[in-house]
Chain A
């Protein structure tokens, strides 16, 4: 009996070992090391001649990062991005899913596939395709619209929101559609018997029933938005509106590779990871209470 228990313990170690060893190596250790680095700063000794020395600065890097206009401006960009992106994304995907589920849609499999297709395109390539669609001279739409400057300071946020919308709307729509399809027929039948029309059923019966799916996607959309990096990096080269510290992730990247300041880069990464964790915690809590 005892040998059996030992044997099972060995099997458990074998099954969960690889995951947890890697988990420690590629998630826990890097985050821990970034926290450690973020507590130190390179100070040039004397008048800037000679080498530099590493000094413990405590939370100094965090304070510097939080005081840095470039970093806080990055968050303002994300706030603006979310204000524009989230209503369009959630509203659009929900609307399309409800249309598809309304019983009036034809070719439902085709529409699901067509709307999902952009999600298969890697983010960099989606960024590149749209960059060309925005680029005067190559773009088939810029001239059509009388030379709109999609990449200028005023419009580039909207242009990037559009790329993200293109990539994700079909994905979220399929999640909502699956949730809608899982609503028991009796519930919808009961609503019909009570005299609810299609619109009424959609808004008063179907929507509340798929609240869970909506909140999950909202959570992932917010966390994804905080990490905004790929699309603006692709646009950075051709757009006046995107600067090298345009989003918090770009700021952290720029600190590490532009300024070679690993302490500051570590602090920015940790702040970002913390914020993402806090936000997901809050959204989960909030959705459990409701």
Chain B
């Protein structure tokens, strides 16, 4: 009986893992196939191995625009997440370590910001940006992603836990100014918060679709997701786009998977900090 239940538990877990992994496995198989084999051969089997040809086709389509999209995504997500994490950590640190007039009211505003869904602001952002005349620019997609209220909340909590007041006092009595004390003393202690917020924001920006969709017309400013989306839309008329989308999807997912597997410790810490109290 006991052996039975151990087998059942693991069987369920194996089924769940197959559910999550098989679609990715299919993507791997599909990206090695020619268009004809994509339609003509079983999904989970190799046919003529043409992954290299497919990658070549992706790279040469429309003058190599795919790698431009790649670069854009890296810029939007990488630089955006880094700036966003710094802004959040600074702000959370100040909420924790300083007293000022109206502080808790402002923190209430931050918490309210956590509840505003990002897609609810995408269209209003577009309306405002078109009024101001900044639609279809790099900044229209980059700047909105810098604000991450949850990061401020997390930084305040982690600053209270990681940065002892005595250490800051010691730095001050050594003659360090407030900024210097933050950069030299507090920031290194808040590195886990920084990395966690960075990862959060990196994924959020990399995954963002609504905002670039409304903001951008110029293909050269597209991030990967929007670029692949526009390729897919052409797939009905021109089936060869199916192979481009499939191989392009694989190329854009693999680096993400590698980064995430290697930084497990950080995202797990960040995810659970928000919900386990």
> A residues engaging B (CB < 8 A)?
7-12, 14-16, 18-20, 22-23, 25-27, 29-31, 33-34, 37, 92, 95-96, 99-100, 102, 104-106, 110-111, 113-115, 117-118, 120-125, 128-133, 137-141, 166, 169-171, 174-175, 178-179, 182, 198, 212-213, 216-217, 223-224, 226-227, 229-230, 233-234, 237-238, 249, 252-253, 256-257, 262, 265-266, 269-270, 272-273, 276-277, 280-281
Closest chain A CB from B19 CB (angstroms): 7
Question: How many angstroms from the CA of A14 to the CA of B94 in the assembled complex?
Answer: 9
Contact indicator B277/A212 (Cβ below 8 Å) = yes
Asked if B252 lies at the interface with its beta carbon under 8 angstroms from chain A, I say yes
Q: Which of B93, B112, B120, B260 contacts A269 (CB 8 A)?
A: B120
A25 partner residues in chain B, CB cutoff 8 A: 143
Contact indicator A34/B123 (Cβ below 8 Å) = yes
User: Would A230 and B10 be within 8 Å (CB), given that A11-B98, A25-B143, A115-B20 are in contact?
Assistant: no
B10 partner residues in chain A, CB cutoff 8 A: 104-106
Asked if B63 lies at the interface with its beta carbon under 8 angstroms from chain A, I say no
Asked if B124 lies at the interface with its beta carbon under 8 angstroms from chain A, I say yes
Question: How many angstroms from the CA of A8 to the CA of B147 in the assembled complex?
Answer: 24
Contact indicator A8/B178 (Cβ below 8 Å) = yes
Size range of the chain B interface in the assembly: 35 or more
Q: Which of A37, A99, A174 contacts B127 (CB 8 A)?
A: A37
**How many A-B contacts at CB < 8 Å in the complex?**
265
Contact indicator B272/A96 (Cβ below 8 Å) = no
Closest chain A CB from B268 CB (angstroms): 7
Q: Which of A8, A34, A131 contacts B124 (CB 8 A)?
A: A34
Question: How many angstroms from the CA of A288 to the CA of B166 in the assembled complex?
Answer: 35
Nearest-neighbor residue (CB-CB) of A123 within chain B: B207
Contact indicator B252/A122 (Cβ below 8 Å) = yes
The 6 closest A-B pairs by CB, nearest first: A140-B43, A11-B178, A34-B124, A15-B94, A30-B124, A273-B120
User: Would A256 and B123 be within 8 Å (CB), given that A11-B98, A128-B249 are in contact?
Assistant: yes
Q: Which of A14, A23, A280 contacts B179 (CB 8 A)?
A: A14
User: Would A113 and B117 be within 8 Å (CB), given that A16-B91, A104-B6 are in contact?
Assistant: no
Contact indicator B225/A30 (Cβ below 8 Å) = no
A100 partner residues in chain B, CB cutoff 8 A: 13
Q: Which of A16, A111, A115, A123 contacts B209 (CB 8 A)?
A: A123
Q: Which of A129, A140, A227, A281 contacts B120 (CB 8 A)?
A: A227
Q: Which of A18, A124, A128, A212 contacts B275 (CB 8 A)?
A: A212
A110 partner residues in chain B, CB cutoff 8 A: 17
Question: How many angstroms from the CA of A121 to the CA of B21 in the assembled complex?
Answer: 12
Contact indicator A175/B275 (Cβ below 8 Å) = yes
Question: How many angstroms from the CA of A241 to the CA of B261 in the assembled complex?
Answer: 37
Asked if B60 lies at the interface with its beta carbon under 8 angstroms from chain A, I say no
Question: How many angstroms from the CA of A265 to the CA of B179 in the assembled complex?
Answer: 44
A102 partner residues in chain B, CB cutoff 8 A: 9
Q: Which of B63-94 contact A (CB under 8 A)?
A: 87-88, 90-91, 93-94
User: Would A12 and B94 be within 8 Å (CB), given that A19-B87, A117-B20, A139-B43 are in contact?
Assistant: yes
Contact indicator B90/A19 (Cβ below 8 Å) = yes
User: Would A122 and B206 be within 8 Å (CB), given that A26-B147, A129-B27, A253-B214 are in contact?
Assistant: yes
A175 partner residues in chain B, CB cutoff 8 A: 271-272, 275-276
Contact indicator A166/B23 (Cβ below 8 Å) = yes
Nearest-neighbor residue (CB-CB) of A227 within chain B: B119
> B residues engaging A (CB < 8 A)?
5-6, 9-10, 12-13, 16-17, 19-21, 23-24, 26-27, 30, 38-39, 42-44, 87-88, 90-91, 93-95, 98, 100, 106, 109-110, 112-113, 115-121, 123-128, 131, 143-144, 146-147, 149, 152, 177-179, 182, 203, 206-207, 209-210, 213-214, 224-226, 228-229, 232-233, 236, 242, 245-246, 249, 252-253, 256-257, 260-261, 264, 268, 271-272, 274-277
Interface SS of chain A: helix, strand, loop or mixed? helix
Contact indicator B115/A30 (Cβ below 8 Å) = no
Contact indicator B117/A33 (Cβ below 8 Å) = no
B12 partner residues in chain A, CB cutoff 8 A: 95-96, 99
Closest chain B CB from A277 CB (angstroms): 6
User: Would A125 and B249 be within 8 Å (CB), given that A30-B127, A117-B21, A266-B124 are in contact?
Assistant: yes
Q: Which of B115, B203, B277 contacts A120 (CB 8 A)?
A: B203
Contact indicator A19/B88 (Cβ below 8 Å) = yes
The 14 sampled A-B contact pairs (Cβ below 8 Å) are A19-B91, A22-B87, A26-B125, A106-B10, A111-B16, A117-B24, A124-B225, A125-B225, A130-B23, A174-B272, A175-B272, A178-B275, A213-B275, A227-B118
Contact indicator B100/A12 (Cβ below 8 Å) = yes
Q: Which of A122, A169, A237 contacts B20 (CB 8 A)?
A: A169
Contact indicator A178/B276 (Cβ below 8 Å) = yes
Question: How many angstroms from the CA of A18 to the CA of B110 in the assembled complex?
Answer: 13
Question: How many angstroms from the CA of A230 to the CA of B123 in the assembled complex?
Answer: 14
Question: How many angstroms from the CA of A266 to the CA of B110 in the assembled complex?
Answer: 23
Contact indicator A18/B90 (Cβ below 8 Å) = yes
Contact indicator A249/B115 (Cβ below 8 Å) = no
Closest chain B CB from A226 CB (angstroms): 7
Closest chain B CB from A287 CB (angstroms): 12
Question: How many angstroms from the CA of A182 to the CA of B123 in the assembled complex?
Answer: 41
